[in-house]
Amino acid sequence: MGLVALRGGAGVGPELSSPAAAEDFEQEIVDEYAIAMAAAGLSDGHISNTRAVVIEFARTLTGPLWEATCADADRFLAEQRRRGLTVSTRAGKAGALSVFYEFVIARYESEIRRATGVLVEQPIDEFNRQSGSSLGKVRVPPSDEEIDALFAAWRATVPQARKYVPAARDYFAASLWRRVGLRINESVMLDIRDWRPDLGQFGKLHVRFGKGARGRGPKPRLVPAINGVDQLLDWWLAEVRPQCGPDWAEPDAPLLPSERFDDDLDRCGRVGANALRRSLAIQVDQWLPAWSGQMTPHVLRHYCASSLYGAGMDIKALQELLGHQWLSTTSGYIHVRSDHIEQAWNSANQRVATRLGGGHVNGRG
């Protein structure tokens, strides 16, 4: 598909009298979709990536985009798999194409049908759309005993660490993932001003760079300092953060600093996410080797959700704590702690036992 200038707005009926005119109109649809995504507030990166996927798909077709069928999508996605792309990457491309065709059908279907006689179809359906990174995987977090053992051993090594401040920082950051389920990038982007002890019973962290849905930019939220996080923050800000540099009382200084001082800003630099990941991996290798290569900040986020749910937190409150847009996403984090199936089984057995006159039913044949 060639890249040409726009001929006009989406409301102008196309005159597709030549292959060049059809190609121009095809390009116009793609560019109008980019404009619509920008109007919806999607990020530039998301728009660019989506546009690239649509163009990649278009180049595999023998005709224009509006003639694509499910068979075309099948071949495209099968080729993605043959190239070794991950399930989550294939799911992302399928999702991008699906939403693009929803746009085409909603805004251009009647024009295309009048000009070509073609009825645009949705090539991404429930049969060829990848189910995402969770396909075939159930993310089971470590047990309470394993996490307690890991963090107890880690905490004991901090005072004797060769570099006390970075060691304390890394332990503190991992504790945020474990206790209130912050994402690693959310914790990296926290500034000192983001700790608001005046809000609520425990104080709250203002997470200004929460993950937005579908590229819509940061989604801020307030995270209460529950589960002992308020005490961790008091320890960090009163005893450790002042040792990082003279910026410890500046509101705009990073809550989690790097070891380097930024001379231009006259304050500590911000720690990188990779440094925190490496530190977690080192501690896991040493104190919880059964999880070596498997423990990540996101696994600790799953653990947080699962443990808080097991302790009785309402799933709607968990959704707000974790910053999920959809309740179904939160459900995927805590299903391993849910015992509604076991409860239903016990209730059914009890009903059978009652019906049979009190006999014991255990379901074993």
Does 110 share its domain with 177?
no
Task: Return the SS3 of 260.
Answer: strand
Does 261 share its domain with 168?
yes
Does 184 share its domain with 294?
yes
* Rounded Cα–Cα distance for residues 142 and 153 (Å): 16
Domain presence at residue 326: yes
Q: What is the rounded average pLDDT for all residues in the chain?
A: 85
This prediction has a pTM of 0.65
Q: Look up the domain containing 196 and give its range.
A: 144-340
Does 195 share its domain with 257?
yes
* Rounded Cα–Cα distance for residues 192 and 7 (Å): 51
CATH number of residue 173's parent domain: 1.10.443.10
One-letter amino acid at 113 equals R
The backbone region for 208, taken as left when phi is positive above 0, alpha when psi lies in -120 to 50, beta otherwise, is: alpha
Does 246 share its domain with 329?
yes
The length of the chain, given as a count of residues: 365
pLDDT of residue 354: 81
Does 284 share its domain with 164?
yes
CATH number of residue 111's parent domain: 1.10.150
> At 66, phi and psi to the nearest 5?
-75, -5
Quick: pLDDT tens for 228-255: 999 999 999 999 999 988 888 889 999 9
Half-sphere exposure of 322 (CA within 13 A, CB side): 30
Quick: pLDDT tens for 181-199: 999 999 999 999 999 999 9
* Rounded Cα–Cα distance for residues 343 and 351 (Å): 12
Under-70 pLDDT residues of the chain: 1-17, 130-139, 212-217, 263, 335-341, 357-365
* Rounded Cα–Cα distance for residues 282 and 292 (Å): 9
Q: How many domains would you assign to the chain?
A: 2
Quick: pLDDT tens for 156-167: 999 999 999 999
Domain presence at residue 350: no
* Rounded Cα–Cα distance for residues 115 and 42 (Å): 31
* Cβ–Cβ under 8 Å, residues 305 and 333: yes
